[in-house]
Amino acid sequence: MGLVRLVVFGFVVLSIIYVAVSIYARSIRRENLENDWAEENPDSNDMDARGAYVKAGITEYNAGIRPKLIMLVYVVPTVIIIGVLVATNWN
């Protein structure tokens, strides 16, 4: 019963952490894209072009490897916990 509780609460906590890290990473990428646009087009007030540039950059970001690496939030703690459980119960 304790293992089931650990798995359920662990999944909930790791899901919360995953969502928070994912939102943070996307916001940082979005901010960098907006700053890049401002540097490349200092006199432009065209918000539609800026929005299209940011949207294209976010689409490219989503297809990259970084969002997939955030999934390690689930893998690393799970492997550590399994390792500790195996090492504890080995003897």
The answer as to whether 6 is a domain residue is yes
Average pLDDT, stretch 49-55? 93
pLDDT at 45: 83
Confidence band, pLDDT 50/70/90 cuts, at residue 9: very high
Measure the CA dihedral 17/20/25/31, to 10°. -160
Is the residue at 91 inside a domain? no
Structural domain includes residue 40: yes
What pLDDT does residue 15 have?
A: 95
Q: For residue 90, tell me if it sits in a domain.
A: no
pLDDT, mean of residues 13-31: 96
Q: What is the pLDDT of residues 58-77, one digit of tens each?
A: 999 999 999 899 999 999 99
Number of domains in the chain: 1
pTM comes to 0.82
* Eight-class DSSP state of 10: H
Question: Can you give the residue range of the structural domain that contains 51?
Answer: 2-84
Return the pLDDT at 28.
96
The pLDDT value recorded for residue 43 is 83
Q: What pLDDT sits at residue 30?
A: 96
Radius of gyration of the chain (CA): 20
Structural domain contains residue 7: yes
